[in-house]
Amino acid sequence: MGSRILGAAVTTLVLIASAHADAMFVLGNNIANGVNVVGTSGGSGMTIDGVTNNSASVPIRFTSPQDMVGGSGQASIDAPTGTFLSRVTISSPGSSFDSIEFNPVTLSSNGILMVSVLMTNGQTFTYPPSGSTYGSMNGQNRLTVFAQNGERILSVTISSTGPSGTGFEGLTQVRFNGAAGGFEPIPEPGTLGLLGTGMIGLAGMMRCKLRLLL
């Protein structure tokens, strides 16, 4: 019996350790029934705010280390004329979302884009995979990011891996799914580890007691 209890505790610990956040990247426009962003037209500066165009009106924020210009239609964010945006972060202040898609357009050169996704538990995932490139100067660069394993997305950053002055002229067709005004707190990895260690310790104590009884 003691061995079975210890085995169950170890199995539980393995399951806890393997339960982690994840993000899936899919090229193209892949969100069904997504919502667009409105309210960015006419905005300018390093921060431009908008809201989703559904009844929830979830706030959406675009930030960059450079000045941006808010365009019209599906939250188009543009670089000032004659320049490129090297980095733009999309987030929802006080909120999170299940999936997002976007299209960086008119790149300074091919294959210079990198996408970094921050999840609600602090984990970060990047695209493209090591050894691959992402981004065509004149083609469509639509990318969809899906949260998996019960996680949600806090922010997405699209940046240039090239030298200073490189990047993209605009960010268009930004759409979301599952944008909500909050999220449930998720245990930190350290807390999960302590929980698993405590379970193994408890199983060991029960095993010792069983030996004394036998």
Number of domains within the chain: 1
Which of 10-19, 69-78, 163-172, 200-209 has the weakest average pLDDT? 10-19
pLDDT band at 66 (very low <50, low <70, confident <90, very high): very high
Decide if 81 is inside a domain. Answer: yes
- Res 22: pLDDT: 87
Taking only the tens place, the pLDDT of each residue in 2-61 is 544 444 443 333 333 334 548 999 999 999 888 998 889 889 999 999 999 888 899 999
pLDDT band at 198 (very low <50, low <70, confident <90, very high): very low
Decide if 7 is inside a domain. Answer: no
Decide if 3 is inside a domain. Answer: no
Decide if 105 is inside a domain. Answer: yes
What is each CA distance from 197 to 3, 9, 101, 205, in whole angstroms? 17, 9, 40, 13
- Res 148: pLDDT: 93
Type of residue at 143: L
Q: Which CATH number do you get for residue 118?
A: 2.60.120
- Res 86: pLDDT: 98
Q: Which stretch, 33-37, 73-77, 90-94, 185-189, has highest mean pLDDT? A: 90-94
Decide if 2 is inside a domain. Answer: no
Q: At what angle do helices 189-213 and 2-18 cross, to 10 degrees?
A: 180
Decide if 125 is inside a domain. Answer: yes
Decide if 150 is inside a domain. Answer: yes
Which of 18-27, 71-80, 151-160, 193-202 has the weakest average pLDDT? 193-202
- Res 196: pLDDT: 46
Largest CA distance in the chain: 83
What is each CA distance from 192 to 17, 18, 201, in whole angstroms? 7, 11, 14
Taking only the tens place, the pLDDT of each residue in 82-136 is 999 999 999 999 899 999 999 999 999 999 999 999 999 899 999 999 999 999 9
Higher per-residue confidence, 195 vs 157? 157
Decide if 10 is inside a domain. Answer: no
Q: How many CB atoms lie within 10 A of CB 175?
A: 24
What is each CA distance from 9 to 14, 37, 187, in whole angstroms? 9, 47, 19
- Res 100: pLDDT: 96
> Domain range holding 161?
21-197
- Res 23: pLDDT: 95
Taking only the tens place, the pLDDT of each residue in 162-182 is 999 999 999 999 999 987 653
